[in-house]
Amino acid sequence: MAGGRKQTDLKVGKERPAGFRFYTERRLVELTGLRAGNLKELYTILRTISGSSIFYHTHEVFLQHHFAAPSFRNDFAAWVTESLQEIHLGEELAGIDIREFMSIRSLRLRILAILRTHMQHHPNLRQAAPEDSFHFCKARSFFMPTHIEAKDLATFVEGMKAISKSSLFYHFFAARFRFGKRSNDFSSWLRKIGELEVGRAIDRLDPYFLDLEEVRQRTLAIAEEALERRAAG
């Protein structure tokens, strides 16, 4: 059964909860052909652009390799800072806690509200150089099950070691918005099999400030520590 998909409801019967099938995804970037050169254009396009474009510009960066600490891991914040020199606005946009949002719709409204307020107070628009326009993209996501399945905490650890970064991205970021959940797929499943503490601890990680490899290492540390404690009695 897919992580984050229908699971056996523990409250209903004594049926064993299903295992956790790790999924992975591959992404193909689609270009919308829409570009913004100033805040007004950014605002106008953001009002109607597809939700998958907003997801792309707030998440795709996590799939990329970072040679150094990036300025902001949010394309909108990075663009207004670097190309428009709107540094205060950049901080406001970067400061959006994406984990608070369960839908792209509400995230969109928050971004629009920040832009609207800023433009009301700063009516003179700065224009980006033509080669620095903001190009709206989105991704087509092709998702598929891997051959890896966890039955319990020990096999979950094995799975976590084996899966790709794309799989981590899918379960930590993509599935959360897709199914309108507050938590990541792993924590949801771990709670269902009774691993409440482990599930909660993983949920407290903030993947928006970590590389996916760091997310993997910290998740493993939490799960392995629980297993060791259990083994020690």
Partner 1 sequence: MAARLKDYASVVGTDVLQELEVLAEKVEGWSVQHINSTAVGGGVAEMLQRLNPLMKDLGIDSTWDQIEGNTRFFRVTKAIHNALHGSAVEITPGMFDDYRDHLRSQLDRMTIRGDTVFIHDPQPAGLIALKERCGGAWIWRCHIDISTPDRQVWDFLQPYVNNYDAAIFSMPDFSQELNIPQFLVPPSIDPLGDKNRELDPGVITGILEKHGIDPNRPIITQISRFDHLKDPLGVIRAYQLVRKRTDCQLVLAGGEADDDPEGPALLKEVQEKAAADPDIHVLLLPPFSDLEINALVRGSSVVVQKSIKEGFGLTVAEALWKRKPVIGGAVGGIRRQILHGVTGFLVRSVEGTAYRIRQILNDDALARQLGENGRVHVQNNFLLTRHLKDYILLMLALRHPGQDMIPV
Nearer to partner 1, 65 or 121 (CB): 65
CA 156 to chain centre: 21
Q: Position of tokens 């999924």? A: 23
Q: Give residues with Cβ within 8 angstroms of 207, minimum separation 6.
A: 62, 172, 173, 184, 215
Q: Tell which positions 38-57 bind partner 1, by CB under 8 A.
A: 50, 52
Identify residue 93 by its one-letter amino acid code. L
Kindly state whether residue 137 participates in binding partner 1, applying the rule CB under 8 A: yes
CB of 158 to partner 1, least distance (A): 16
Identify the DSSP state of 2.
Answer: B
Options 14-22, 39-47, 129-137, 213-221: segment touching partner 1 (CB under 8 A): 129-137
Kindly state whether residue 123 participates in binding partner 1, applying the rule CB under 8 A: no
Kindly state whether residue 138 participates in binding partner 1, applying the rule CB under 8 A: yes
Kindly state whether residue 68 participates in binding partner 1, applying the rule CB under 8 A: yes
Helical segments of the chain, H only? 39-48, 51-59, 75-82, 87-94, 104-121, 153-162, 165-169, 175-178, 185-192, 196-204, 212-231
**Of the residues 141, 155, 224, 226, which one makes contact with partner 1 according to CB under 8 A:** 141
**Of the residues 31, 113, 196, 221, which one makes contact with partner 1 according to CB under 8 A:** 31
Kindly state whether residue 211 participates in binding partner 1, applying the rule CB under 8 A: no
**Of the residues 49, 139, 222, 223, which one makes contact with partner 1 according to CB under 8 A:** 139
**Of the residues 65, 121, 124, 231, which one makes contact with partner 1 according to CB under 8 A:** 65
CA distance linking residue 155 with residue 103, whole number of Å? 31
CA distance linking residue 143 with residue 210, whole number of Å? 23
Which chain residues interact with partner 1 by CB under 8 A? 26-35, 50, 52, 64-65, 67-68, 130-131, 133, 135, 137-144, 164, 178
